[in-house]
Each structure stands twice: as C-alpha cells, then as structure tokens.
C-alpha cells in the first residue's frame, strides 16, 4: 500500500473534474463580501460492525491532501519534498468506509457499493440503516455527507472483494470496542476526519452491545 515515491505537486489545471474552485460574491447588511470556495462531490460514509467478530470495520489509505497539509504546514515548497523526513506513512488515514456520490443511483445504493468495494461485505440495502445528514467542510465546500450504519457477519464476506476498485488501494482493518473507544478520548492525535470520530462515538453510544 505504502510503496509511494516521486511525490511532487503543481498548479491545478482549469479542467479538474474533482476540485472546482470559485469566488462567491454577496451583499450582507449592505456590505459587499466575497468568499473563496470549491465544489466537491456529496458523499456517504458507513459505520460497519462485524457482529461475528465483534469488531468495527474501518479503512486505511494514503491521502495526498493530508500529506500536503502536513508538509505545507511545515513550509515545504513544491518540488523539494524530502521523503526521508516525510515518509508517506504520515498521511495514511483511518476512516469509515466512504465514497463520493458520482452516479445517478440512490444514496443508500452508493453506500451498499462502497461496503462491498472497500470492505468486501455484500449486503442488501435493507440491512443498511440511515443515520443522519450533515455538511462537511462548511468553510470551503459545504458538501453533504450522509451517515449510515450496517451490521455485517463473516458470512457476508466476498473473498474477491474489498480493498477498493480501479486505482484505489485500501486496507481494511478491524478494531474492537475498547480500541475504538480510546480513539475518541482526550489526548488522541489522529489522521482521521471528524466524521470518523463522530461515527465511532455515535456507534458506541447508540448501537454497541453492552459488555
């Protein structure tokens, strides 16, 4: 997964299909204002609990944006990245199974596909529970994310699936409830998004079996 070399970066081409930046203009209480933002896809994320193993199922992957966030925070300029000092492992994130909404099927069907493609569990949409909707990146993108919950068993596992499709390279990892709870506690420093932390804590509060 982490055999990553030759990292460099440059300007965004005008025709990027993924990141479409804009300057937004408006008048508030008579004063003209502007705000710079970008359009990104809406998305889904799924808290997955394997009841056979009593484990939460998460994904790990190398995230270029996190790598860039770390090195640019240190003042590293494009073209001069010291990969000994900044190995790719610093930007491997722990996340919920998730995906963008980029085709005309229902949100829950997108969630079903991501559970299969990323984590290798083949379950019908009837076993996926809609939890809530919120807005990620309220300062920059405002995209909607829908959170789902699904319980799976080892019998749902498809051995040929999981790990991502096309160019994705994703590791599936399992955490027991104590390990997961520690991630949500004071002192945590983690390359995970807040939607991961919320999803885990929501599960622990509302769905985790009592020990």
**Cβ-Cβ contacts under 8 Å for 164 (sequence gap 6 or more):** 61, 117, 118, 170
- Site for a copy of itself (CB under 8 A): which residue of 49, 67, 110, 150? 67
- Contacts to a copy of itself from residues 170-199, by CB under 8 A: 184-198
Helical (H) or strand (E) element with 60? strand 55-62
Among the listed ranges 108-116, 120-128, 153-161, 201-209, the one in contact with a copy of itself (CB under 8 A) is 201-209
**Using the rule CB under 8 A, is 105 a contact of a copy of itself?**
no
Dihedral in degrees, nearest 10, Cα atoms 99, 168, 189, 56: 60
**Using the rule CB under 8 A, is 8 a contact of a copy of itself?**
yes
- Contacts to a copy of itself from residues 113-142, by CB under 8 A: 129-142
Comparing CB distances to a copy of itself, the nearer of 76 and 157 is 76
- Report the C-alpha gap between 64 and 49 in whole angstroms: 28
**Using the rule CB under 8 A, is 75 a contact of a copy of itself?**
no
Tokens of 207: 């769905």
CB of residue 204 to a copy of itself, shortest distance in Å: 8
Closest by CA position to 94, among listed 161, 182, 208 = 182
Tokens of 205: 């509060």
From residue 24 to residue 63, the character string flagging contacts with a copy of itself as x (rule: CB under 8 A) and all else as - is xxxxxxxx-x-xxxxxx-xx------------------xx
Site size with a copy of itself, rule: CB under 8 A = 89
């Amino acid at each position: 997964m982490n055999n990553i070399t030759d990292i460099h970066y440059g300007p965004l081409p005008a025709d990027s299909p993924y990141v479409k930046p804009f300057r937004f203009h408006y008048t508030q209480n008579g004063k003209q204002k502007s705000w710079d933002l970008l359009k990104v896809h809406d998305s889904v994320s799924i808290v997955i609990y394997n009841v056979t193993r009593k484990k939460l199922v998460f994904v790990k992957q190398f995230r270029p944006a996190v790598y860039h966030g770390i090195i640019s925070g240190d003042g590293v300029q494009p073209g001069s990245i010291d990969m000994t000092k900044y190995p790719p492992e610093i930007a491997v994130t722990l996340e919920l199974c998730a995906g963008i909404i980029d085709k005309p099927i229902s949100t829950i069907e997108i969630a079903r596909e991501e559970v299969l493609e990323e984590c290798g569990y083949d379950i019908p949409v009837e076993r996926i529970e809609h939890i809530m909707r919120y807005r990620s990146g309220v300062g920059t993108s405002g995209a909607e994310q829908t959170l789902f919950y699904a319980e799976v068993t080892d019998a749902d596992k498809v051995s040929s699936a999981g790990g991502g499709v096309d160019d994705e390279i994703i590791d599936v990892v399992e955490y027991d409830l104590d390990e997961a709870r520690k991630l949500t506690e004071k002192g945590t420093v983690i390359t995970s998004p807040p939607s991961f932390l919320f999803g885990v804590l929501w599960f622990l509060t509302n769905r985790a079996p009592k020990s």
